Amino acid sequence: MTIVDKAEQLTRHIGGYRQCVVAFSGGVDSAVVAQAAHLALGENAAAVTARSPSVPRSEIEEAIRVAAEIGIRHEIVETQETTNPLYVQNAPDRCFHCKTELYSQIELLVAAIDAPLILNGANVDDQGDHRPGMIAAKNHQVLSPLIECGLTKADVRELAKHWNLSVHDKPASPCLASRIAYGEEATPERLAMIEAAEDYLRGHGLREFRVRYHRGDIARIEVTPERIAELAAEPLRSQLAKKLRELGFRAVTLDLEGFRSGNLNGFVDLAAVRLQ
């Protein structure tokens, strides 16, 4: 199947919904769904982005920009997951509570804008990972058109490039709480520390990286292997350590294994996590 065929398949599939709202982070997956929804449904499609301490302000700004680029109607909803003790305790099911709050808030909005179906950006590759948020999606009858059309992450990036979306090569950017080691509370204060630290690194030209939070206010910085020497060299090493200490970290470390998306999952027994 060519990329044109895949684009037509997704657009036709979403066109069968008549009306929808896309849970829209501004990343490549939700951007492709939003683009297809806009092409298929026009004014009968909308995108909704969450604003909370869990979401970097830079990501909200980019979501606003990408929605305008697509031309889809766009709404911002305030979510309150950081007031939920089950979220703050940061167990391996944290994402379930976050997505439950998101979909609950979107459902309130959906009633007001007369768009009964909620779509997310989950793709086929997401099915094999630890994704408690997918259970929340199922509980709220959220649809996953990329999965329904059999589209992988590679397909999604190809579609984004086909539609000239500026985020076609954007690295994954999960919520700030994903940087905090399981069992350490995901408080607004810690989320703000992480956001400020990552903003500082981004200002030095880094694109694919994480600042992980571990017990005792320890920062573990992950960058791609080719950038490790740069961060370990002066003057950036001293500048970085000073900045993160000013933000509230008591120790600053550089992970010699480099950037690995989702590596905190390796610290817990995910097979023991059970959700209803």
Q: 3-162: what fold?
A: Rossmann fold (3.40.50)
Positive or negative torsion for Cα 242, 247, 99, 35? negative
CATH architecture of 176-267: 2-Layer Sandwich (3.30)
List, by residue number, the catalytic residues: 175
pTM score, two decimals? 0.90
pLDDT values of the chain reduced to their tens digit, one per residue, 276 residues = 899 999 999 999 999 998 999 999 999 999 999 999 999 999 999 999 999 999 999 999 999 999 999 999 999 999 999 999 999 999 999 999 999 999 999 999 887 766 679 999 999 998 876 688 899 999 999 999 999 999 999 999 999 999 999 999 999 888 999 999 999 999 999 999 999 999 999 999 999 999 999 999 999 999 999 999 999 999 999 999 999 999 999 999 999 999 987 666 555 544 444 444
Asked if residues 69 and 41 have their Cβ atoms less than 8 Å apart, the reply is no
What is the pLDDT, as a whole number, of residue 204?
95
What is the pLDDT, as a whole number, of residue 211?
97
- Residue spans of the domains in the chain: they are 3-162, 176-267
